[in-house]
Amino acid sequence: MKTLLSIFICMAYCTNLMAQESREEVFQVVEEMPRFPGCEHRKIPRNDKTKCANKRLKEFVYENLNYPVEAKEQEIEGNVIVQFVIEKDGSTSNAKVVRDIGGGCAEEALRIVNLMPLWSPGRQRGRPVRIRYSLYITFELPNK
């Protein structure tokens, strides 16, 4: 009976911890915003690291972007906006499209977000925190 009670208490405690984790605040702005990888080990000022990281993010997106066939055929161009959370460990989660232009562009934008490597997480008061991030991906046909 004691074993059963101990298991029940442990399950209740673990469930409570998981519920707290899932309700943990997602910040919009923090003291140190997350950065896409590739520049964190360079000995340059923080602002320059941010510029470098933004450049790497843009390169990553457009090196991996496959223009959807349907969008090409219909000559669809424009911006898709994807929001996602950068977790404390730098992984991305909860990606969703908040602006779509059709033709399969939203699915392609989500695919790219799900390909992303670990980011340098955002920090508030020196501790890693969860951050909501918005990414604009421009779909533009060449030679137009």
Which DSSP string do the residues of 25-84 spell out, in sequence order?
-EESS-SB--B-SSSTTS-S-HHHHHHHHHHHHHHHHHHH----HHHHHTT--EEEEEEE
pTM score > 0.85 for this model?
Answer: no
- Is residue 95 situated within a structural domain? yes
- Residue 82 token pair: 């994807």
- Whether residue 3 is contained in a domain is answered as no
Range of the domain at 86: 26-139
When divided into structural domains, the chain yields a total of 1
Q: What percent of the chain has pLDDT over 90?
A: 72
The reply to whether 76 falls in a domain is yes
Q: Does 127 map to a domain?
A: yes
Is 12 part of any domain? no
pLDDT in tens, 11-51: 444 444 444 445 689 999 999 999 999 887 878 888 888 99
- Asked if residue 51 belongs to a domain, the reply is yes
